Amino acid sequence: MAENKRDYYEVLGLQKGASDDEIKKAFRKMAMKYHPDKNPGDKKAEEQFKQVNEAYSVLSDPEKKSKYDRFGHAGVDPNAGFGGAGGGFGGFGAGGFEDIFDMFGGMFGGGGSRQRRRNGPIKGNDLQKAMTITFEEAAFGTKKEIQINKYVECETCSGTGAQPGTSKKTCGKCGGTGEVHTTQRTPFGTFQSSSPCPDCGGTGQINEHPCGDCGGTGKVRKSVTISVDIPAGVDNDSVISIKGQGEPGSNGGPNGDLYVVLTVRPHKLFERKGQDLWLEIPITFDQAALGDDITVPTLEGKVSYKVPAGTQPNTVFRLKGKGVKSVRSSRKGDLYVRVILEVPTKLSGKQKKAIQNMAKEVKNDCYKRKSGFLDSMKEFFS
């Protein structure tokens, strides 16, 4: 039932009255979030994905959006039953509110302005494709190729839908307008309404000799290879827009766009946080106590770093400019190195003795934190 449906604006995370650009942007974001490829086996995400597509199919269509804004879900539900006795407007037939508004629009000079001409330019469908890249490819940028199955313009008829050497004819019933007008007499007066032409389906043209390769649609499905430029600094869920690489439009409308959604494989050493990188390096007790030069890996090669004497476990050092470049500028993030103190295991008897001798020589007052803890404990139990 329509009353149980979620508000379409709410589904896309928008306020009523959102612009076309806001609706399109919100749809891309939500579609990527709940796409089945990113949520395999997740029934809840699958249901959310369906709701997102349903909401977008209405709010992206000016005519449907107008009806939805006026009447809610019932305005776009073909089974809502506006007409007939149940709707309180008996005698107007199955056309419901739209016919009523068309007739009264004629009274006030609006005529059939709410009817969208089907023979006008229509933009082609946008497409979405997932792509997985390596950590290094995301950091430095790369060029990749993807294969995608999509509708393309029929080469045989050049997208006209008519056999080569022929052309479509202007519809004789509607004169090429794509609309037919009817006049109705009512107790309120005479009203005129418009509807799509039944002979040409609202296109304004008749195709007497349809192309054999595309069946008159002007489009054929084909596997296409597309080159994708991936800029340095992209991350998980980054979206690359390739204008005009969607499906072909109709009636002279532009092609749709292709949106490539990126997934970045994790790295064995580095963890990424925005433009910064994090790395953990194990060091020994003697390196921490006496200091040492250690080798630090970066995305651009190895560098040497001096660990100062007395370095404590989990100390973090910062290597400026050794992170990932920003997509929007030349600025680079930093590399943060956390040193982890590794305690030796599987010691021989000689090694154990050496550690015991060291422990006798290195007294508690050499350990700042331990010494302070022992003093606090004495005070607590005194």
pLDDT tens-digit map of 75-101: 777 655 443 333 333 333 333 333 434
Mean pLDDT across the stretch 124-135? 94
Q: Tell me: is residue 211 an annotated ligand-binding position.
A: yes
Q: Tell me: is residue 366 an annotated ligand-binding position.
A: no
pLDDT for the residue 65: 87
Token look-up 């006008």 returns: 120
Mean pLDDT across the stretch 274-300? 95
Which of 158, 154, 175 lies closest to 167 in space, CA to CA?
Answer: 158
Structure-model confidence comparison of residues 205 and 187, the more confident one: 205
Structure-model confidence comparison of residues 1 and 30, the more confident one: 30
Which of 190, 129, 121 lies closest to 159 in space, CA to CA?
Answer: 121
Taking the whole predicted model, whether its pTM rises above 0.85 is answered as: no
Mean pLDDT across the stretch 102-116? 40
Q: Please list the residues that pair with 143 across neighbouring strands.
A: 229
pLDDT for the residue 78: 63
Mean pLDDT across the stretch 338-356? 92
Q: Which of these ranges, 71-80, 166-175, 275-284, 304-313, has the smallest mean pLDDT?
A: 71-80
Q: Tell me: is residue 157 an annotated ligand-binding position.
A: yes
Residues of the chain with pLDDT > 70, as a percent, come to 86
Mean pLDDT across the stretch 236-263? 91
Tell whether the model's pLDDT for residue 53 goes beyond 90: no
Structure-model confidence comparison of residues 372 and 195, the more confident one: 195
Tell whether the model's pLDDT for residue 308 goes beyond 50: yes
pLDDT for the residue 119: 64
Token look-up 């449906």 returns: 5
Q: What is the DSSP letter of 189?
A: E
Residue 135's contacts (CB-CB under 8 Å, 6 or more residues apart) are: 264, 265, 266, 267, 270, 272
